[in-house]
Structure 1
């Protein structure tokens, strides 16, 4: 076997591993990245980004049948070509930075060596970024053909006529939105009393209303008990005895960790769902880090990116890793989108905290009028001293506006602090001002 030495070896070519590798290489380290399947992971290649790209195709369409039909056909016909371009872009970015890429299911020999194919990678540091993968219960066995995961669901060259989506979570609802636009008969099964659990009802309602208007059937408060394939269809048995038959079923409600092979040859500790990490995202091996979903802190792509960059900064400059995510931007990429940062009303009610809200509709802004916007709003949540506790939006592309708002809340800014800034006129951002003014003046 060939022995190669690196400063850092990253195990997992998803979004966290990608950003960490790029940052470390730019910082002067020799870097290798190991990926067992395809580069990009769930965020870039197997779900999140492709779903968003597909949904973007339908934005701005107002039920124009012929236009929607043409979009569907063009999207499906070009899908494999688009994903091939995406694969090439990820690989080229890494190669252009002179990052060595190894494709194969490698294994730890010990805390200093990792073998992949016929090569041994010797490194000062390892970063585990192997993520998680879809999982199910034994009564609903995933076969990848009829009972599928997001990896199969994103193959738009094989669109079913009907599908049952098991789980009204973010992944399930985003796929429901996409499949509805593609003309698929969609049924969503959600065991909780509402979809997108953990979000305020007024934020969820426009998304649910749009899905229903597209023919999506949403069953709430009843879970799926089992599923089986019969005569080319999937029969899903619900807890109340109802049987739903569709061409395919998409499982979204569970995930399991991708522990790297040979982890038992190190001192790394794990539990059932994740690798245990401590300060600076270090494991029980003081040269091995774990970032992203595999460490179980928060299963979101932007968290994995931040952790990947932070660990790189720690290795390069000794800067401690900050994992305080109490101010966490979130988005649901549906039609319309939901995005926001900070607290929601349901959290404040649970904690018994007094608050005020201000709401401004995008259609009431001058820019909203000019763009013929007919839905969406801004919602700000303030405490009794007008400090901003949360800022949330519903509307087209609102995920683009939220990214840096977290610093406003983290720094304890008030409504007056934001109102003292100039907001471009005319712009949809003026709706934030209107919501702040409304909330500020409430008792």
Structure 2
């Protein structure tokens, strides 16, 4: 039996971050087993963040080439989608090698085990025909797509498998309305697909307030996406390679492809967690220090019970778990974690929403600015969107929520404001660059103290 100081199950964002941090803290002296299956790097680099953002950026480039934004500019574009997807998959391969395969070679103290781990006791696991014992464990097995039970649902793509597509669907049905569903819907609508989003709930993006969702739906409808919300679907039928979706209110026909993006569930089924004394409840149960009900086993990332599933959060939790194994008492401050949907416009959020504050009976005030008040947004000809700031009675900023171009790039200002307990007076007192879309946050702050319709550009 091989023995280790630390065994990490899962080699995605959380697992890699944990193995590197543990190595750094011990000058590469800690003996670590890194166990995983499938390509190194897990979801994000292989089938998640990296390929989806490559797809989105390429689709914007194609759409703008076909239909330029500005008067007086004429252009045209064609696409070989098969060749494009080959370039996408090559890019993913290169990033995986650069950021994971080559990186782990720097840590000779880390042994890789390719296989599915299963607990055989409170401090032992088996992988294939090998058994490993470790002083401490970290479970970081991530998540997978949830597949709903729908009669006839057999031939479909998920966000894991869509990367094998080599032809643009003329008509695409998407089940789900979370960030993955909306991002892929946006990309394929740019490529020319007629995209229909079906969702049993009558809303999108569970974590956002309704005004944010309304603005995003408006923008996506302008992009040609058709929404079917509050729609119960009973059966999928296929004839001559065309799919029909039968709902309680009618039948929708002639879909070339179906994408299931109805959320993700923790990858914990085969771990035999009971043998290790680990409790679960829609994910692995951990305390605020990421320790499971087995005191020598921690867990991090999408496999644990928590409200957000983000690559950056998983990496942060992997690091925190290791630091706590070494005696720290760190924890994740969820109100400081930014969340982004990479449609166009972007949706970016950090801190509390109005609905959360109402549930907690916390007094607050809010100011919302439309993008038409932001010069750079007008230059970009992006007129749909808002910037919203929520503050308490003492002016301290509690939440910032933006629907705007490039919001993913500047929501970090909101993180800094909330992390440091700053007020909208502090925000206003900070000189911003003009013209930028990021200025929308400052203008929303200024809306607390004046009528912005009576304010010139660069007014402080």
Normalised to the residue count of structure 2, the TM-score between the two structures is: 0.85
Q: CA deviation at 1:67?
A: 5.4
Please provide the CA RMSD for this pair: 2.8
Q: Which residue in 2 is equivalent to 1:113?
A: 124
**What is the alpha-carbon distance in structure 1 between the residues aligned to residue 153 and residue 330 of structure 2?**
37
Given candidates 247, 265, 286, the residue that maps to 2:295 is 286
Q: Secondary structure at the match of 2:105?
A: helix
**What is the alpha-carbon distance in structure 1 between the residues aligned to residue 64 and residue 430 of structure 2?**
39
Q: Kindly provide the CA deviation profile for residues 163-187 of structure 1, in whole angstroms up to 9, marking residues without a partner as x.
A: 2111112221111111112222211
Given candidates 102, 108, 115, the residue that maps to 1:104 is 115
Q: Secondary structure at the match of 2:177?
A: coil
Q: Is the 8 A contact 2:148 2:262 kept in 1?
A: no
Q: Which residue in 2 is equivalent to 1:304?
A: 314
Given candidates 406, 430, 438, the residue that maps to 2:439 is 430
Q: Which residue in 1 is equivalent to 2:257?
A: 248
Output aligned runs, 1:394-405, within 5 Å.
394-403=403-412, 405=414
List runs of 5+ in structure 2 lacking aligned partners. 67-74, 452-460
Q: Which residue in 1 is equivalent to 2:94?
A: 85
**What is the alpha-carbon distance in structure 2 between the residues aligned to residue 150 and residue 198 of structure 1?**
20
Q: CA deviation at 1:250?
A: 1.6
Output aligned runs, 1:2-13, within 5 Å.
3-13=1-11
Given candidates 263, 268, 292, the residue that maps to 2:273 is 263
**What is the alpha-carbon distance in structure 2 between the residues aligned to residue 10 and residue 67 of structure 1?**
51
Asked whether 1:218 is paired with 2:227, we answer yes
Q: Which residue in 1 is equivalent to 2:159?
A: 150
Q: Kindly provide the CA deviation profile for residues 355-390 of structure 1, in whole angstroms up to 9, marking residues without a partner as x.
A: 433344556445556666655442222234322122
Q: Secondary structure at the match of 2:113?
A: strand
Q: Is the 8 A contact 2:139 2:300 kept in 1?
A: yes
Asked whether 1:94 is paired with 2:95, we answer no
Q: Is the 8 A contact 1:388 1:414 kept in 2?
A: yes
Q: Kindly provide the CA deviation profile for residues 386-438 of structure 1, in whole angstroms up to 9, marking residues without a partner as x.
A: 22122122222211212353342244321112223333445443332222111
Output aligned runs, 1:10-49, within 5 Å.
10-28=8-26, 29-49=30-50
Q: Is the 8 A contact 1:162 1:248 kept in 2?
A: yes
**What is the alpha-carbon distance in structure 2 between the residues aligned to residue 286 and residue 67 of structure 1?**
61
Q: Is the 8 A contact 1:58 1:68 kept in 2?
A: no
Q: Which residue in 2 is equivalent to 1:314?
A: 324
Q: Which residue in 2 is equivalent to 1:332?
A: 341
Given candidates 106, 116, 129, the residue that maps to 2:140 is 129
Q: Kindly provide the CA deviation profile for residues 147-205 of structure 1, in whole angstroms up to 9, marking residues without a partner as x.
A: 22211123343543322111112221111111112222211012222322442343233
**What is the alpha-carbon distance in structure 2 between the residues aligned to residue 32 and residue 80 of structure 1?**
29
Q: Kindly provide the CA deviation profile for residues 234-263 of structure 1, in whole angstroms up to 9, marking residues without a partner as x.
A: 322213243444122222224333224333
Q: Which residue in 1 is equivalent to 2:175?
A: 166
Q: Secondary structure at the match of 1:274?
A: coil
Q: Secondary structure at the match of 2:394?
A: coil
**What is the alpha-carbon distance in structure 2 between the residues aligned to residue 265 and residue 353 of structure 1?**
43
Q: Which residue in 1 is equivalent to 2:458?
A: none
Q: Secondary structure at the match of 2:116?
A: coil
**What is the alpha-carbon distance in structure 2 between the residues aligned to residue 386 and residue 440 of structure 1?**
11
List runs of 5+ in structure 1 lacking aligned partners. none
Q: CA deviation at 1:91?
A: 1.5
Q: Is the 8 A contact 2:385 2:402 kept in 1?
A: yes
Given candidates 379, 387, 410, the residue that maps to 1:378 is 387
Q: Is the 8 A contact 1:191 1:221 kept in 2?
A: yes
Q: Which residue in 1 is equivalent to 2:213?
A: 204
Q: CA deviation at 1:289?
A: 1.0
